[in-house]
Amino acid sequence: MSDLSAPAALTAHAPVSGSRQADARSRVAVADIAVRLFHAQGYEATSTTQIAAAAGVSRSTFFRQFRSKDDVIFADHDELLEQIDEYFAREHDDPWLAVCEAAALVFERFRERLEVVRVRDRVVRQTSVLRDRETVMVSRYEKTFSAYLRRRLPQVDPVLAIQFAAAVTATHNFELRRMIRATAAAQLLDSAALAAELRAVRTRFAPASAAPATPASELLVAVFPASALPDDVARVIASRLRSAED
């Protein structure tokens, strides 16, 4: 798969059962309600009882869905990480590209829910405990990406896999925050633009599978005696290059 601008295709081959899909939607729906309550009343002032009542669920159902109030706000991240795991479980010709596509999927899902994501961003920025939780959540994506690369490409230096995962995650997060905090529609990055950014990251790291091969016809090999003067070397090479262009 090579079209990063269409991340919805990542889930097209792995349909989720109706009951599981309903559970996921319900969990995210409760989280969205909690986010709006946090924004209206303040995080500390909002209780789990209030969230459950506003969402129309019992407290016991709430605690089956979430371990604590801290877990509510990032419910969609849990769902996305599950989708990424399912995507990585399939076979991909280019694991480096698969990581980029997974990041594009996350971006597109947040773009689809931009209004509530913006509200959450304001809540998180105002609440230190949630900022810490967000940092942990970001690290989960990074670890998921690097673990996949190290599993699929055991011959690659693990440091390169970790660096690549960090670069993809950082690029995604930078562009996501810019989109969330944009004040004009023209500043909104779409999935295709993010895809171009991620391809640039991939090219910059240039793993063997992504580095373009240089045709033999474009190589110029020159051998000179050690006593050759630098000006003579430069003049001969320039002459040969001009000849190759003619």
Residue 22 has pLDDT above 50, yes or no: no
Q: Residue 105 pLDDT > 70, yes or no?
A: yes
For the chain, give the percent of residues with pLDDT over 90. Answer: 43
Mean pLDDT score, 117-141: 91
Q: Given a cut of 90, is residue 206 above it in pLDDT?
A: no
Q: In 3D, which of 62, 63, 57, 54 has the Cα closest to residue 36? A: 54
Q: How far apart are the first and last CA of the chain?
A: 39
Higher pLDDT, 47 or 20: 47
Contact 210, 192 (CB under 8 A): no
Is pLDDT at 220 greater than 90 in this prediction? no
Q: How far apart are CA 2 and CA 7, in angstroms?
A: 10
Q: What is the DSSP letter of 68?
A: S
Tell me what pLDDT residue 46 has. 93
Mean pLDDT value across residues 205-229: 57
The CATH number of 7-205, from 3.30.360.10, 3.40.50.620, 1.10.260.30, 1.10.357.10, is 1.10.357.10
Residue range 135-139: mean pLDDT, rounded: 91
What the block records as the tokens of 165 is 């995962």
Within 13 Å, how many C-alpha atoms sit on residue 239's CB side?
A: 7
Separation of alpha carbons 34 and 31, rounded Å: 5
E strand or H helix at 164, and its extent? helix 158-180
Q: Which two tokens stand for residue 240?
A: 């040969």
Q: What is the pTM of this model?
A: 0.70
Helices 95-112 and 114-126, interaxial angle, to 10°?
A: 90
**In the predicted model, what is the mean pLDDT of the chain?**
80
Over residues 73-98, the pLDDT tens digits come to 888 898 899 999 999 999 999 999 99
Give just the sign of the alpha carbon dihedral 99, 100, 103, 105: negative
Q: What is the pLDDT of residue 10?
A: 45
Answer whether 164's CB lies under 8 Å from 156's CB. no
Question: In the predicted model, is pLDDT for residue 126 greater than 80?
Answer: yes
Domain boundaries defined on the chain? 7-205, 217-245
The radius of gyration of the chain's CA atoms, rounded to the nearest angstrom, is: 24
What's the whole-number mean pLDDT along residues 14-35? 63
Helix axes 114-126, 158-180, angle to 10 degrees: 100
- Read off the pLDDT of residues 27-62 as tens digits, 9 standing for 90 and up: 888 999 999 999 999 999 999 999 999 988 888 888
Q: What is the rounded CA–CA span in Å between residue 208 and residue 197?
A: 19
Q: Which residue has the tokens 């990074």?
A: 142
User: Given this model, what pLDDT does residue 165 score?
Assistant: 96
The share of the chain scoring above pLDDT 70, in percent, equals 71
**Structure confidence at residue 103 (pLDDT):** 94
Q: How far apart are CA 151 and CA 167, in angstroms?
A: 18
- Bigger pLDDT: 180 vs 26: 180
pLDDT recorded at residue 25: 42
Structure token pair of residue 90? 């399939």
